[in-house]
């Protein structure tokens, strides 16, 4: 029998796929899916690592900044001089060596300290340094050495004002502060010529105010003096006591030692500058 002319064929047109080919197609899809998932996970991990690194950097930043601040501060401190050095440089041109020949004693020249307080080169010092002396000689910071005479005294305060016969070529008066502003614990500096060591500085603090002081070798009692613990010895008498701004706040007058030795054990005294300037012709503060 002949087939009908328009009968449709039920056979597939394309080539028939085998079972292995179908399996390979399935595996390819799975592999691509796994690769896609792996890429997504990797991207997520990278993002987490990136932001974790940022957090660490932000946490470390303050430490780094603090280290930088500390380093810069130390550099500034190293470059700038200490307060004591600045105080010393400020007072050095005004510091004076006082030499007094004691009457009736061999080799009785006493060395003390003083400070220039006026444009006339008047020198403020302790009265006991030049008391009973026959001659007085002053040594100024510029190298000038000249005889001097006593222009004024305050017996009750152990203060004397000396005037040179020949003023130095360069007169640099010290800056006078106010002792009334002192408080216990304030930094102070003693400058003078202890034991003949010219131009020495020691540092300490105000240990007390309005003290009474009875010098062991003098028939007098000083009242209202400043107690301090900056080291002083023979030769410091008459020198300036300075605050941290380099201003004169006192004139050193003595020390206390319970033994017979005239050495420093931690207690020195100074006449307040507010009182001492009255002996120089200025108004007492």
Active site residues: 128, 158, 237
Task: Please choose, from the candidates 167, 161, 206, 166, the residue with its C-alpha nearest in 3D space to the C-alpha of residue 183.
Answer: 206
Query: Dmax of the chain from CA atoms?
Result: 172
Q: Are 199 and 238 in contact (CB under 8 A)?
A: no
Q: Are 250 and 240 in contact (CB under 8 A)?
A: yes
Query: What stretches of the chain adopt beta strand conformation (E)?
Result: 95-102, 109-116, 123-126, 133-139, 145-154, 159-164, 187-192, 200-213, 222-228, 240-242, 248-255, 268-272
* C-alpha atoms less than 13 angstroms from C-alpha of 5 in its C-beta half-sphere: 0
Give the closest residue to 129 by CA, choosing from 153, 106, 110.
110
List Cβ neighbours of 222 (8 Å cut-off, separation of 6 or more): 156, 157, 158, 212, 213, 214, 215, 253, 269, 271
Phi (first) and psi of residue 199, to 5 degrees:
70, 45
153 closest CA partner among 22, 19, 10, 276: 276
- The phi, psi pair for 113, rounded to 5°, reads -125, 165
Question: What CA–CA distance (Å, rounded) separates 245 from 181?
Answer: 13
SS3 label, residue 100: strand
Tokens 């990136």 found at: 50
């Amino acid at each position: 029998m002949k087939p009908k002319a328009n009968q449709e064929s039920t056979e597939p047109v394309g080539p028939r796929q085998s079972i292995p080919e179908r399996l390979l197609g399935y595996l390819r899809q799975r592999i691509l899916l796994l690769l896609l998932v792996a890429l997504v996970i990797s991207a997520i991990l990278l993002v987490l690592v990136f932001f974790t690194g940022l957090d660490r950097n932000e946490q470390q930043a303050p430490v780094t900044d603090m280290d930088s601040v500390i380093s810069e501060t130390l550099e500034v401190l190293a470059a700038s001089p200490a307060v004591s050095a600045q105080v010393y440089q400020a007072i050095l041109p005004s510091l004076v060596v006082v030499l007094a020949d004691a009457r009736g004693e061999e080799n009785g020249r006493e060395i003390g300290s003083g400070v220039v307080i006026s444009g006339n080169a008047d020198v403020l010092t302790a009265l006991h340094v030049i008391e009973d002396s026959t001659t007085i000689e002053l040594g100024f910071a510029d190298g000038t050495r000249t005889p001097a005479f006593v222009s004024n005294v305050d017996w009750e305060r152990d203060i004397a004002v000396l005037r040179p016969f020949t003023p130095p070529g360069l007169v640099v008066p010290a800056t006078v502060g106010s002792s009334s502003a002192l408080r216990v614990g304030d930094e102070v500096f003693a400058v003078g010529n202890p034991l003949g060591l010219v131009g020495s500085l020691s540092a300490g603090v105000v240990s007390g105010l309005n003290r009474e002081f009875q010098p062991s070798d003098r028939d007098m009692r000083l009242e209202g003096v400043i107690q301090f613990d900056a080291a002083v010895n023979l030769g410091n008498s008459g020198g300036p006591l300075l605050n941290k701004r380099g201003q004169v706040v006192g004139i050193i007058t003595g020390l206390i030692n319970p033994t017979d030795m005239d050495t420093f054990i931690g207690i020195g005294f100074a006449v307040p500058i507010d009182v001492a300037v009255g002996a120089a012709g200025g108004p007492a503060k």
